Amino acid sequence: MPTNTKPTEKELRSMSREELLSLALTHLSSEPEVSKKADDVEVLLSNVKRSNGEPPRKKPRHFDMSRYGQRHIALRLMYTGWRFHGFAAQADSDNTVEAHLFSALLKVRLISSRTGCDYSRAGRTDVGVSASNQVIGLRVRSNVKPPSTGHRELDYVKVLNGVLPQGIRCTAWTPVCDGASPYPALYDGDPDPIKDYWNSVINGSVKEYGNIRRPGQKFSARFDAAYRSYKYFFVCGALDIKAMRKGARYFEGTHDFRNFCRIDENITNFERHMYTVQIRRLKDDSVQDDDGDDEYTMYYIFVKGQAFLWHQVRCMAAVLFDVGMLCEDPEVIKQLLEDAEVKNGVFSKGRPQYKMAPPTPLLLYECEYPKTVLYFPQSFEREFSPPITDSKDPRRSSFERANLSIAKDFAEQSAKMSILQTILKDQDKLISYSASIDALASRKSFMQLRKPRDFISDLNPGRHIPYEKRPTDDPIEIKQMKAGLKKKNMSSI
């Protein structure tokens, strides 16, 4: 098309964005009387439908956070860990729970940046680990705190769930102490359950030892937590549950857990207090032995403690599985703990090398706080709209949609589990064609030939080497010295 020919509207609409930009810049440079700026060109292009059929882009509107009040709140989160690369943000991955969470917070303008929102978290979970009650604290935009003039507080649950990806959901929110007073600030526009509960705390109706917060002390999701609990799920298989329960009891109390964690050179105190460590049956949460259990019965290791070391629960589970497979005596747990405390014995010079239990079966189950510091009366999204019974109604709350999504995932995985269980049971009816004369003579089935570790994912079968004969990791003192030398060498470069 000649440059001196004025294109028609039809020709303009058929051009790509790049062709339109080139044409506009050509006219700007060849016609001195035209004095439009580059911004004017972008405005012109934004009004033309793009070649891929998408609607024209709108120029982002500036959001002035200073026009709104801000308040300190806590959010309760759930996430399915196998979808993400861990909870904490990482420089080399955008697929972490925190990365998605802050992307959502910024998108809906609840915060202006991560660095300026007083963010805290109850804990961090590894790649593959899930959580049903993770807690974070942060300062967010408010619709009711001055200078905001709204009549009702933002529905934080609904707002966030509308932009969070599949596998992450906010389940509740509540105001927390911002340091100005010992208790959270309340406003007329807050949901009634929140106002009713925190007013009862302020009036002294809810009492708990050690619960008075000092002025100037802001809420911390990490340091204010009274305890955290985890569940590690597994299939019974041929594991000796009685032996595992005996070994689990040795973990309870205050111990040095350096032989049950991945050593962090920055940690000097490895003492942690475990309130409860139990082997429970999933269907009824029972801790009682039941001779009626079969190899497909689901169990979980329940661990409740004040705080945890790096990979501590997975290390505890790994040793318990060796005990359950009768490869180690339950007393080995007692010896691993005592040798670390008294700095004497077979396991005093370093942790014996063993493989951690895999992360996927692990669930951060609960983060508990004093009830005068943090409490979630309920999820409030349902409070802000009339109940909707039609599951296909687009107005159905995002929290209900999240539950439906989890239910669908559960149904799909349960169906797969039933198929695999049916196949295994069918195979058990056959007689093993093992070349072993003894196996043929005894006519052992596949079920009888399976080993305890066959049902434990990511644990490779092989000859077991007793812990006391295994090589050990370097003790913490050696690791700290090596880390110091490495840091010194790096600083001298």
Active site residues: 126
The angle formed by the CA atoms of residues 294, 300 and 301, to the nearest 5 degrees, is 130
CB contact at 8 A, 172 and 408: no
Residue type for 344, please?
Answer: N
In 3D space, the residue among 341, 304, 295 whose CA is nearest the CA of residue 449 turns out to be 295
Number of C-beta neighbours around residue 58 at 10 A: 7
Rounded to whole angstroms, what are the CA distances from 242 to 317, 325, 332, 420? 15, 11, 15, 27
The token pair at 421 is 């269980």
Number of C-beta neighbours around residue 80 at 10 A: 21
CB contact at 8 A, 357 and 239: no
The token pair at 1 is 């098309």
Helix/strand/coil for 423: helix
CA-to-CA distance for 270 and 252, rounded, in angstroms? 15
CA-to-CA distance for 102 and 117, rounded, in angstroms? 11
Task: Show the beta-strand stretches assigned E in 105-226.
Answer: 120-121, 130-142, 168-175
Radius of gyration of the chain (CA): 30
Helix/strand/coil for 292: coil
- Chain Cα centroid distance, residue 439: 46
Phi-psi domain of 72 (left: phi exceeds 0; alpha: psi -120 through 50; beta: other): beta
